[in-house]
Amino acid sequence: MAEEAIELGIIQCDFKKKAMEAIPGGGNLDMCFACGTCVSGCPATGLADMDPRKFLRMILLGLDEEATKSPWVWMCTGCQRCIYACPMEIDIPRLVYLARASWPREERPKGIRGSCDMALRNDSCSAMGASPEDFIFVVEDVLEEVKDTQKGWDNLEAPIDKQGAEFFINQNSREPVTEPDELIPLWKILNIVGADWTYGSKGWAAENYCMFLADDKAWEHVTRTSIMQAQKLGCKVYLNTE
């Protein structure tokens, strides 16, 4: 369809039009120099025979299907190096996000989709499904072990739902679920510097696979749950350990 349109001199750029409506200021898409600066620092360059410049040029040429349905859009890390390198500051990661969102949800990568769905199961928003009760148990158990076995750390603290703490800190689900000992170094650093901090029993998980899935509603739910808990506790600063 796109090739026939180009042969007839009629370029259909439906995706481009939608993107320009969704990105503030239109995204500067038509300002691309095709200079390739975005390609040089992109960790996904060359994967699936695609790179940021090629992806953008295909969109500008109306090759919507070829660009948006390429598996490359799921290989982009969203690191935003391309934006910082681009002399015109074209928001390619935002284009990638919109391309992902154009896929039927059931056709999006199973691993990312599964992690997002797991995060929606309880108020922890953990991609590994750990509940608030599980998290509290692990933190208290590890903390007690440190106090009992590590000299000089009798007063170590790892507060949960501490009202009025200055810092609200979250944690990647992998640590409490599979590597609980990895929690300890962070606690020690925070205690050594005298930080006034707390975890939240709700929204303590730092990862957000729903964002990578391009599921706006689920992404908002995960983020809102965490932020609302921080506000409920009266924390002044939200620190995302991711």
Model pLDDT, residue 132:
96
- From the list 37, 53, 47, 98, the residue with the least C-alpha distance to 75 is 47
Tokens 């170094």 identify what position?
185
DSSP strands (E only) in the chain: 167-169, 197-198, 237-239
Model pLDDT, residue 200:
97
User: pLDDT tens across 147-185, in order?
Assistant: 999 999 999 999 999 999 999 999 999 999 999 999 999
Residue 39 phi, psi (nearest 5): -70, -35
Residue 5 pLDDT exceeds 70 = no
The number of CA neighbours under 13 Å toward the Cβ of 165 is: 24
Residue 7 pLDDT exceeds 70 = no
Average pLDDT over residues 182-199: 97
Domains of the chain, earliest start first:
2-103 (1.10.1060), 110-239 (no CATH)
Q: How far apart are CA 44 and CA 65, in angstroms?
A: 20
For residues 219 and 149, is the Cβ–Cβ distance under 8 A?
no
Q: How far apart are CA 183 and CA 142, in angstroms?
A: 8
Model pLDDT, residue 8:
43
